[in-house]
């Protein structure tokens, strides 16, 4: 029996921020896919407006710490009325006993602030088919106060992978990515195969270039791969774009797409250095920054290499922040 090939562990998965991004860029499609009844009652020809600044203020007033709802959107209904629609997307993998009370609190706080009906919606992405919190309320001395809110349970789509991949709604693809991210948590090779299939679908629906880029960013952020498989996937993407004659992802936007991953990685690791990690770690971060600079600007001069080797943690952090915005290598090191 031949030995089993050992792959590096799949990197930790991240859901929250990609969901926020795609929600704002594809809000009508979000409502159509998960909450079709509500979608049919909205006059989309009148447009819609995100009110996230106002939402953050309401959440602060509610004294709920770092927990906050993802979007507050003003829409016009087909009957001519204007309502605030409050969308709370909680992408979590386990029970939260405070979930329904939190939805209740957000809803009444928003009603108190704006004096109009608030519609609350939630997407549940855990693995427990029995956990479906969709209401909260209380009664005291004959007084009743309650909230019932629609939910979408992603696990309900687990048997519909083929239908999801054939559906042109972008949230079908996002849902499929979420499910396959969970299914391949301990199998990087299977995740690579699934991710390659979904990336190919990005070019099959006839979407505009920006939508392809936005959705690729979601897939790339959700479906993390070990470095070896990540490089293999980029080679596949180059082939796909050659076949379709759509050079979207492999153009200069590739660096911008990876901004969140690079900055998050550097931020976490550099924070450790600033807290007093060993000098060897500092050298490691200098090497990492050297690789990123080389990818961005090509071979580095000896003077730059020497500068990286003697840099402080503060300098490395500053240069890491500048690497994706600076137009030239010199710009990275300007003013620091």
pLDDT (tens digit per residue) in 25-48: 899 999 999 999 999 999 999 899
294 and 315 share a domain?
Answer: yes
pLDDT at residue 165 tops 80: yes
pLDDT at residue 15 tops 70: no
171 and 106 share a domain?
Answer: no
Structure tokens belonging to residue 288: 């990492």
Q: Does some domain include residue 25?
A: no
CA–CA dist 275, 261 (Å, integer):
22
Q: Does some domain include residue 49?
A: yes
Phi, psi of 145 (to 5 degrees): -140, 120
pLDDT at residue 265 tops 60: no
Place of tokens 């019932």: 148
Q: Does some domain include residue 247?
A: yes
138 and 187 share a domain?
Answer: no
Structure tokens belonging to residue 70: 């993802």
Best-predicted range by mean pLDDT (85-89, 171-175, 181-185, 316-320)? 171-175
| Residue 49: domain span | 36-149
Number of domains making up the chain: 3
Assess contact for 94 and 131: CB atoms under 8 A: no
Phi, psi of 226 (to 5 degrees): -60, 155
pLDDT at position 69:
47
The model's pLDDT over 103-133, given as tens digits with 9 standing for 90+, comes to 898 898 888 888 888 899 998 888 888 999 9
165 and 107 share a domain?
Answer: no
Please provide the DSSP assignment of 126-141 as one string.
-S-TT----EEEEEET
Span 141-155, average pLDDT: 95
CA–CA dist 17, 68 (Å, integer):
12
Q: 8: part of which helix (H) or strand (E)?
A: none
Return contacts of 150-153, CB within 8 angstroms, 24+ apart.
150/35, 150/37, 150/38, 150/121, 150/122, 151/121, 151/122, 151/123, 151/124, 152/34, 152/35, 152/121, 152/122, 152/123, 152/124, 153/124, 153/129
Q: How many helices (H) and strands (E) does the chain have?
A: 16, 7
CA–CA dist 182, 174 (Å, integer):
13
pLDDT at position 67:
42
Q: Does some domain include residue 178?
A: yes
- Last residue of a domain, which of 257, 282, 317? 257
pLDDT at residue 317 tops 50: yes
CA–CA dist 84, 44 (Å, integer):
14
pLDDT at position 195:
94
- Last residue of a domain, which of 127, 149, 171? 149
Tell me how far the alpha carbon of residue 291 is from its chain's centroid: 25
b/e sequence 89-127, b meaning 16+ C-beta within 10 Å: bbbeeeeeeebbebbbbbbebbeebbeeebbbbbbbbbe
Place of tokens 């500092």: 282
Q: Give which of 207, 177, 200 is closest to 25, Cα–Cα.
A: 207
Query: What is the chain's mean pLDDT, rounded?
Result: 79
pLDDT at position 307:
86
Span 75-91, average pLDDT: 78
The model's pLDDT over 131-140, given as tens digits with 9 standing for 90+, comes to 999 999 999 9
Span 221-242, average pLDDT: 85
Edge-to-edge strand list for the sheet holding 48-50: 48-50, 71-76, 82-87, 118-124, 151-153
Confidence class for position 176, pLDDT limits 50, 70, 90: very high
| 3-state class (DSSP) for residue 309 | helix
pLDDT at position 252:
39
- Last residue of a domain, which of 149, 183, 212? 149
Span 168-191, average pLDDT: 92
Assess contact for 118 and 111: CB atoms under 8 A: yes
Q: Does some domain include residue 3?
A: no
Span 292-303, average pLDDT: 76
pLDDT at position 271:
52
């Amino acid at each position: 029996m031949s030995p089993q090939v050992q792959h590096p562990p799949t990197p930790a998965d991240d859901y929250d921020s990609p969901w926020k991004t795609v929600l704002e860029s594809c809000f009508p499609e979000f409502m159509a896919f998960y909450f079709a009844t509500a979608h049919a009652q909205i006059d989309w020809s009148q447009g819609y407006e995100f009110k996230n600044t106002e939402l953050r203020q309401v959440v602060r007033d509610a004294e709920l710490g770092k927990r906050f709802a993802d979007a507050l959107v003003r829409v016009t209904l087909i009957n001519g009325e204007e309502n605030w629609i409050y969308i709370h997307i909680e992408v979590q993998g386990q029970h939260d006993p405070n979930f329904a009370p939190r939805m209740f609190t957000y809803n009444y706080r928003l009603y108190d602030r704006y004096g109009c009906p608030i519609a609350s919606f939630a997407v549940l992405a855990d693995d427990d088919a029995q956990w479906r919190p969709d209401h909260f309320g209380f009664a005291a001395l004959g007084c009743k106060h309650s909230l019932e809110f629609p939910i979408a349970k992603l696990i309900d789509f687990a048997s519909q992978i083929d239908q999801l991949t054939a559906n042109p709604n972008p949230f079908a693809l996002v849902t499929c990515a979420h499910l396959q991210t969970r299914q391949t948590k301990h199998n990087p090779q299977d995740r690579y195969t699934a991710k390659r299939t979904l990336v190919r679908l990005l070019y099959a629906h006839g979407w505009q270039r920006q939508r392809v880029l936005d959705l690729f960013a979601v897939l790339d952020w959700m479906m993390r791969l070990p470095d070896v498989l990540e490089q293999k996937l980029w080679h596949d993407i180059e082939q796909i774009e050659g076949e379709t004659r759509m050079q979207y992802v492999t153009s200069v936007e590739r660096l911008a797409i990876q901004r969140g991953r690079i900055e998050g990685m550097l931020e976490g690791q550099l924070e450790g250095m600033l807290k007093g990690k060993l000098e060897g770690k500092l050298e490691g971060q200098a090497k990492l920054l050297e690789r990123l600079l080389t990818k961005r600007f090509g071979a580095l001069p000896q003077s730059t290499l020497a500068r990286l080797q003697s840099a402080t943690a503060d300098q490395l952090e500053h240069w890491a922040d500048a690497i994706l915005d600076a137009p030239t290598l010199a710009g990275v090191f300007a003013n620091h």
